[in-house]
Amino acid sequence: MSALQSYLSGKWQTGQGDGHTLIDPSTDEKLGTAGAQGIDRAAAMTHARDVGGPALRALSFAERGALLKELSGVIHAEREALIEIGITNAGNTRGDAKFDIDGATGTLMAYAHFAKGLPDTAHIPDGDGLQLGRSPRFHGQHIWVARQGVAVHVNAFNFPAWGMAEKMACALLAGLPVLEKPGTPTAMMAERIAHLIVDSGVLPEGAFNFLCGEAGDLLDHLGPQDCLAFTGSSGTARKLRILPAFIERGARINVEADSLNASVLGPDVEPGSDTFDLFVRDAAREITQKTGQKCTATRRIMAPAETAPALAEALAEALQAIKVGDVHDSNHRMGPVTNGDQLTSVQEGIGTLAGASKIVTGGAERLGDRGCFVAPTLLLAEDAHADVFHADEVFGPVSSVLPYDGSVDEAAALVQRGLGSLVTSVYSDDRSFPVDLALQLAPWSGRLYLSGKRIADHGTGPGIVLPSMVHGGPGRAGGGEELGGLRGLQFYMQRTAIQGFKSTIEAAFGKPAAE
Could you give the CA distance from residue 354 to residue 347 in angstroms, rounded to a whole number? Answer: 11
In a domain, 251, yes or no: no
Confirm if 445 and 318 have CB atoms less than 8 A apart.
Answer: no
Longest pairwise C-alpha distance within the chain? 80
3-state secondary structure 156-199: CCCCCCHHHHHHHHHHHHHCCCEEEECCHHHHHHHHHHHHHHHH
Judge whether 156 and 128 are in contact, CB under 8 Å. no
Domain count, the chain: 2
My answer on whether 458 and 498 are in the same domain is no
β-sheet bridge partners, residue 34: 20
**How do residues 83-123 score in pLDDT, each as one tens digit?**
999 999 999 999 999 999 999 999 999 999 999 999 989 89
Q: Is the pLDDT of residue 221 over 80?
A: yes
Distance, in Å, from the CA atom of 502 to the CA atom of 515, rounded to the nearest integer, reads 22
Same domain, 459 and 503: no
Domain that holds residue 324: 263-467
295 is catalytic: yes
Q: What is the mean pLDDT of the segment spanning 478-499? A: 96
**What is the DSSP track for 330-383?**
TT-SB---SSHHHHHHHHHHHHHHHTTEEEEE--SPEESSSS-EE--EEEEES-
Which CATH number is 203's domain given? 3.40.605.10
pLDDT in tens, 142-196: 999 999 999 999 999 999 999 999 999 999 999 999 999 999 999 999 999 999 9
Q: Out of 256, 286, 481, 482, pick the active-site residue.
A: 256
Name the band, by pLDDT with cuts 50, 70 and 90, for residue 492. very high
Same domain for 139 and 54: yes
d(CA 101, CA 78): 10
User: Has 372 been annotated as catalytic?
Assistant: no
- Report residue 512's pLDDT band, with 50, 70 and 90 as the boundaries: confident
Using alpha carbons, list the distances in angstroms from residue 423 to 27, 184, 275, 278, 473: 33, 26, 19, 18, 8
pLDDT tens, residue by residue, 307-331: 999 999 999 999 999 999 999 998 9
pLDDT of residue 515: 45
* 212, 295, 481, 482: the active-site residue: 295
> For residues 483, 486, 491 and 494, what is the CA-based torsion angle, rounded to 10 degrees?
180
Please tell me the pTM assigned to this model. 0.94
With a CB cutoff of 8 Å and minimum separation 6, the contacts of 467 are 106, 107, 110, 111, 114, 166, 169, 483, 485, 488
Assess whether 185 and 96 both reside in one domain. Answer: yes
Mean pLDDT of the chain: 95
At 381-417, the pLDDT tens digits run: 999 999 999 998 999 999 999 999 999 999 999 999 9
Amino acid at site 480: G
In a domain, 312, yes or no: yes
Position 1 scores a pLDDT of 66
